[in-house]
């Protein structure tokens, strides 16, 4: 136990009661990530149940210069929740209430610890949907989605988390509560403060409540699995289907041959909707209207694509089971680890630069690691590529070498080292590849203004002072 923190622990216990403060084995029995068997390292885990309790905790920590690491559902991929025995972990897991659902205004006000899947289900009960969706929906919490500006599979139609948040409440490092629970779509009264907290990874404040924007629930969807022989076809097909579906296109997930082969060969059990004879495979989906002619319209758009040579092959899902099987192929990312540890990447760049960029990354990998495995897929409509790269080692020097293969070719094309996962601690060294000196200086000025003692999620996004 960290000696310096003992007096604070008593204050925390007075404030939250014994169930609100975990120490010792109760801390180390919890894992730092839903995928990893690695215990949380912290002096204690605090579990407040109200905004006032969060504010009181931060007032105490600010006064004492005590560092605080916020935890959501622990599904992030850039080590943004890491800490040490000197840190206090602040978990919002008990702040999991849905406070208001306005079906007419199509908004929902929720506490930050509500799991994404739960609020999706609540919206569906009244015929609405929260369109943001990602694989970790069952574990991740809306507060974490907001803090990391999470993306997912429907960004092409509905945008990132940022585009689906109308207001929020955040507690600043010194305990000041900023309640900005705007429910309106239009509100230009001064600075839009919510954007300070969306995507800043818990370094500028702790998000405690969120107002999300809901949409009318789609009436079914049309889904196809398509093959292309080259990237020119992929880019041409994207424009064709987006134009032809009149804005209803909600997913455009591209898988390179390496990924498609991986997830449709043993021990994976996915069947191939189209043969493994092409370079690129696309899972595309459009929102339905419930009209009987939806399916007919979608099939004719696919036929046109085949006739115009925009795709080499196509299979349209004829049932919900077939649709699910197609999505299972896209979501079989557990196969990434078939050949041992894999480094995961999340970059973005202009669609027109993508083909050359991916080829350059693979050329550099082959030179550095002749026996590597690289699997490639992405939300190409959003300019987002994911790589999983296995080189038979998880050693830091290999990680750095593979990072160089992936990140360096981004700089000449103005790409980003993080499309949707954030910077955390993992990408700190590469932030200057994607952001200018003046941009990073302004980020640091905001940090110094809002958290002058650097107690909030220290060492994340950029190194501490
Ligand atoms: Zn993704």
pLDDT, tens digit, for every residue of 220-252? 999 999 999 999 999 999 999 999 999 899 999
Ligand 1 centre to CA of 244 (Å) is: 25
Picking from 270, 265, 294, 269, the residue whose alpha carbon sits closest to that of residue 283 is: 270
Q: Give the confidence band of 175 by pLDDT, cuts at 50, 70, 90.
A: very high
Q: Please say if the pLDDT value at position 2 is more than 90.
A: no
Q: What is the pLDDT of residue 1?
A: 46
When pLDDT is averaged across residues 111-123 and rounded to a whole number, the result is 97
Ligand 1 centre to CA of 17 (Å) is: 39
Ligand 1 centre to CA of 331 (Å) is: 10
Ligand 1 centre to CA of 20 (Å) is: 34
When pLDDT is averaged across residues 125-146 and rounded to a whole number, the result is 94
Q: What is the pLDDT of residue 135?
A: 85
Q: Please say if the pLDDT value at position 454 is more than 90.
A: yes
% the chain with pLDDT above 70: 99
When pLDDT is averaged across residues 87-107 and rounded to a whole number, the result is 97
CA distance 254 to 199: 25
**285 or 7, which is more confident?**
285
Picking from 150, 159, 361, the residue whose alpha carbon sits closest to that of residue 258 is: 361
Q: What is the pLDDT of residue 464?
A: 76
**Max CA-CA distance within the chain?**
74
Burial level of 203, CB count in 10 A (0-12/13-18/19+)? buried
Q: Which two tokens stand for residue 385?
A: 């590529």
Ligand 1 centre to CA of 133 (Å) is: 10
Q: What is the pLDDT of residues 315-326, one digit of tens each?
A: 999 999 999 999
Q: What is the pLDDT of residue 332?
A: 94
Cβ partners under 8 Å of residue 296, min gap 6? none
CA distance 104 to 140: 27
Q: Where are the domains of the chain?
A: 3-94, 98-216, 220-331, 338-422+434-448
**37 or 455, which is more confident?**
455
Cβ partners under 8 Å of residue 367, min gap 6? none
8 Å CB contact between 205 and 328: no
Ligand 1 centre to CA of 278 (Å) is: 23
Ligand 1 centre to CA of 379 (Å) is: 7
Q: Which CATH architecture has domain 220-331?
A: 2-Layer Sandwich (3.30)
Q: Which CATH number does 338-422+434-448 carry? A: 3.30.70.2740
Q: Please say if the pLDDT value at position 86 is more than 80.
A: yes
| CATH fold label, 3-94 | 3.30.43
8 Å CB contact between 193 and 449: no
8 Å CB contact between 348 and 383: yes
Q: What is the pLDDT of residue 5?
A: 72
Q: What is the pLDDT of residue 4?
A: 66
CA distance 109 to 420: 24
8 Å CB contact between 253 and 379: yes
When pLDDT is averaged across residues 201-209 and rounded to a whole number, the result is 98
Q: Which CATH number does 98-216 carry? A: 3.30.465.10
Q: What is the pLDDT of residues 387-419, one digit of tens each?
A: 999 999 999 999 999 999 999 999 999 999 999
Compute the chain's Rg from CA coordinates.
Answer: 23
Q: Please say if the pLDDT value at position 305 is more than 80.
A: yes
> Do 3-94 and 338-422+434-448 come out as alike in CATH topology?
no
Residue in this structure with the two tokens 């690691």, named with its chain if needed: 369
CA distance 399 to 393: 8
Q: Which two tokens stand for residue 379?
A: 């939300």
Ligand 1 centre to CA of 160 (Å) is: 11
Q: What is the pLDDT of residues 54-75, one digit of tens each?
A: 999 999 999 999 999 999 999 9
Q: Please say if the pLDDT value at position 133 is more than 70.
A: yes
Mean pLDDT for all residues in the chain: 95
Q: Torsion over CA of 113, 117, 122 and 126, rounded to 10 degrees?
A: 150
Q: Give the confidence band of 6 by pLDDT, cuts at 50, 70, 90.
A: confident
Ligand 1 centre to CA of 8 (Å) is: 40
């Amino acid at each position: 136990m960290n000696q310096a923190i003992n007096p604070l622990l008593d204050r925390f216990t007075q404030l939250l009661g014994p169930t609100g403060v975990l120490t010792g084995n109760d801390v180390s029995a919890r894992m730092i990530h839903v995928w990893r068997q690695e215990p949380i390292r912290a002096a204690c885990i605090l579990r407040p149940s109200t905004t006032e309790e969060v504010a009181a905790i931060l007032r105490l920590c600010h006064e004492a210069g005590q560092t605080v690491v916020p935890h959501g559902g622990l599904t992030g991929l850039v080590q943004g929740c890491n800490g040490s025995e000197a840190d206090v972990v602040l978990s919002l897991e008990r702040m999991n209430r849905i406070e208001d659902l306005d079906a007419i205004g199509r908004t929902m006000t929720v506490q930050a610890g509500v799991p994404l899947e739960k609020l999706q289900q609540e919206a569906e009960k009244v015929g609405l949907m929260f369109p943001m969706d990602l694989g970790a929906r069952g574990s991740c919490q809306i507060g974490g989605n907001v803090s990391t500006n999470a993306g997912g599979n429907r960004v092409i139609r509905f945008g990132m988390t940022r585009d689906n948040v109308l207001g929020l409440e955040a507690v600043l490092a010194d305990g000041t509560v900023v309640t900005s629970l705007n429910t309106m779509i239009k509100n230009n009264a001064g600075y839009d403060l919510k954007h300070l907290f969306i995507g800043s990874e818990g370094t500028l404040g702790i998000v405690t409540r969120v107002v999300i924007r809901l949409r009318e629930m789609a009436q079914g969807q049309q889904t196809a699995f398509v093959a292309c022989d080259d990237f020119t076809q992929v880019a041409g097909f994207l424009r064709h289907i987006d134009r032809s579906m009149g804005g209803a296109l909600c997913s455009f997930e591209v898988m390179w041959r390496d990924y498609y082969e991986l997830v449709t060969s043993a021990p994976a059990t996915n069947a191939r909707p189209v043969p493994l004879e092409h370079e690129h495979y696309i899972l595309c989906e459009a929102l339905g209207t419930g009209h009987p002619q939806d399916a007919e319209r979608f099939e004719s758009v696919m036929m046109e694509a085949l006739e115009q040579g925009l795709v080499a092959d196509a299979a349209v899902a004829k049932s919900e089971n077939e649709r699910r099987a197609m999505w299972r192929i896209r979501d079989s990312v557990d196969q990434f680890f078939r050949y041992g540890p894999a480094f995961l990447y999340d970059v973005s760049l202009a669609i027109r630069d993508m083909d050359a960029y991916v080829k350059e990354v693979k050329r550099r990998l082959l030179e550095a690691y002749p026996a590597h495995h690289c699997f490639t897929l992405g939300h190409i409509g959003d300019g987002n590529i994911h790589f999983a790269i296995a080189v038979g080692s998880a050693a830091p020097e290999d990680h750095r070498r593979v990072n160089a293969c992936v990140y360096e070719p981004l700089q000449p094309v103005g790409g980003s080292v993080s499309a949707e996962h954030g910077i955390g601690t993992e990408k700190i060294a590469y932030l200057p590849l994607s952001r200018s000196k003046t941009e990073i200086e302004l980020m640091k000025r905001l940090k110094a203004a809002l958290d002058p003692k650097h107690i909030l999620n220290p060492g994340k996004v950029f190194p501490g002072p």
